[in-house]
Amino acid sequence: MKNYKLIISYDGSRYYGWEHQPNTEMTIQGKLESVLSKMLDNPAEVIGAGRTDAGVHAKGMVANCHMETKMNEQEILAYMNRYLPEDICVRELRICSDRFHARYNATGKTYCYTLYVGELKPVFNRKYVYVPEKQPDIDRMREAAGYLVGEHDFASFCGNPKMKKSTVREIYDINIERSGSYINMTYHGSGFLQYMIRILTGTLLEVGTGKRSPDSIPALIEEKNRSSAGFTVPPQGLCLIKVDYSNNTKEKE
């Protein structure tokens, strides 16, 4: 049985997130496993690098799956893309080390949250952006974002009130850039808590619209209180761009 590494893109609009959910087949993991199980005529388990929430998209989700098949990599890739729904695509598939684990070996992730600040409605991009009520001040947002970079306890930005594991994470970089009618907020970090990026974005938007001051962020981090942070922006503006792996991670045989 060989281990395969997959890089997957998907439009999360109509799905209940990556991970299996009770009473529904509409998850990304479920669709991938359904297609592979039919191909193998045996149950398949697909392990993702993370658990994107309902409505969140991905351009570079990484997963791995152990399979025993006579089909080569190109044939498996073609089969999956033939039978997967049109909003899920396996971009790459190759044999990797038997010990490679998409989630445990990940060293970082990059997400992008997109805001639309144009004058007219984003009719064709409405499923992939969030339209804020007011035009935010990007310079204020950048100043506030500087306080978030580094290793902190991000309990104030965790959407899971029953979180028992550590809420300490490291953010390597937050880049906020405007391109025409769009503001792209790119987050690169060691990992992110449930709803963390969406809460960070909501908080930074409150800074950008004058509801908070940039220098209020350090105290907010210290409070470790979700109710003190900003609102949770909707999921459709969020996209997983890339998953990092160390050069020491043995992916190939």
- Tell me the sheet residues that pair with 50: none
List the structure tokens of 219.
């105290």
- Give catalytic residue positions: 53
